[in-house]
Structure 1
Amino acid sequence: MDEILMLQEEISELQSALAEELVSESPESDPAEQLALQSTLTVLAERMSTIKMKASGKRQLLEALQRYLCEAEELDHWLLSTKATLDIALGTPEEPMDMEAQLAHTKDEAEQLAVKLRTLKGNLLELQRALHDKQLNIQVRLQTAASLRLVCPL
């Protein structure tokens, strides 16, 4: 961008110098030389116009890139914030564990789950026995009641 501005300044200076030279020359000077100066001024003006268009395009690209950079920084900030929130919510450590630490952690969790499953299985077996005992007790009472009805009809 700086180079473009420097080129614009140089071309403007050349245009000014050539325009002054063209104006200051007397009418008796060589028409070919005046035509050459006029042609040079025209070429410089066209180049200046081209450089201005390119500079404008590059400025627009630069502005777009700066907007995208700002958006990327905002997204990065949001991502880091969301990750921190999830880490806190999930209780994950800040630093990633190495494979051995992860394996040990997973093994501990598996052992805790196995203990909980054994406890649950034991409780379910106790419940099953209690339900079976209740069922037998109810069947005995029903049989007793049925026997009493047969023996002592109302």
Structure 2
Amino acid sequence: MENLLVGKRLINQRHILSDLIYAKDLEKNPTIIAMEFKYKEDVSYMFEYLGTSYEFQDEAIFTNFMQWFGDLGKHLGFNMIKMKEVFYLIEQELLEFLDQSNLDMLDVFRKGCVVYEDSYNDLFIEEIEDDIFLNYLVNMKSNLAEKYVMDYM
């Protein structure tokens, strides 16, 4: 029952926490002001999935999200060093947010960060980006994929 309450509290306070993290990061990195909305939204999603996975005691909810997010980060060219800094800020905020009895949520968060990095570094994504046909499919350009096959034939 306590996990349910802590998970819900994290979900309910995700916007406040993402604002705090953004503000701390902005002090060190003023260039992130250009991406304020997206930054806060992404951090908020991490808190939402982490809270949900803690609520349901299913770390796969968070790690699957982080795998997808890592794939997206790779595709969009996110800076891995910068992401690790953000993960550190999130971890520090979680340490303040959680009680001693809920610190196991940090383990789930850390696993998710490892999954993000593994997914980001996965060479299969590069193979997709190098393959014109697969790239069309991944980017939902089925008409171009069909044309590519027809031209090839």
TM-score (norm 2): 0.26
Larger radius of gyration: 1
The answer to which structure, 1 or 2, has the higher relative contact order (CA under 8 A, 6+ apart) is: 2
